Structure 1
């Protein structure tokens, strides 16, 4: 179980860190996503910061399990909000969202199972 916990946590952290960097540097893909969802570009640094904090929180969970769990819950809520933003504008292109959402939900499930909450 430990190997699964470490692997899924690192993968989720890397995925969210990459997404955070694309938002923080102002890459074209997040800009296009914000345009499609009719959200202001001024949200890019905020969304990138939330993703970066979640990524760091997942890794901090190795030392402080509660912090990792809270970061996982925060990322699950973040991607729930992203789904709502997609559906609000009628977007059905959810493959990218699904990859991130499934990863953070899996991380939360494995983290809770490993730490004995279940």
Structure 2
């Protein structure tokens, strides 16, 4: 179980940090997707900061402060629930797999982090 926790969390850290960098760089695909779901470009730095903070929290959790890792995973899950909701609200279906993938990845990180936290307390 610990090995799965480490692998999934490392992948989640890389994915969330990578998309945060893409947001900050105002990558073409980020700007196009934001426009489709009615997210103003001025929100991108704040959204990037949330994703980067989540990735940092996952890393800190992986390094031993498990409650912070769980909290970061909860925040990322909620963030991507919002992203999926934005796609549903605007009926943008052609690329909804991306926020759903991030949601699934962060939900897996949350479940494994919570499991690692409960095993540590036992």
- Shorter-chain TM-score category? over 0.9
Cα offset, 1:73, TM superposition: 0.2
Gaps of 5+ in 2: none
Matches within 5 A, 1:15-26: 15-26=15-26
CA RMSD of aligned residues (A): 1.1
Matches within 5 A, 1:32-111: 32-62=32-62, 63-93=64-94, 94-111=96-113
Gaps of 5+ in 1: none
Q: Distance in 2 between matches of 1:34 and 1:98?
A: 15
For normalisation by structure 1, the TM-score amounts to: 0.95
> Could you list the runs of 4 or more consecutive aligned residues of structure 1 that deviate by over 2 angstroms after TM superposition?
none
Cα offset, 1:87, TM superposition: 0.7
Q: Distance in 2 between matches of 1:99 and 1:90?
A: 18
SS at match of 1:116: helix
Number of positions where the alignment pairs a residue of Structure 1 with one of Structure 2: 117
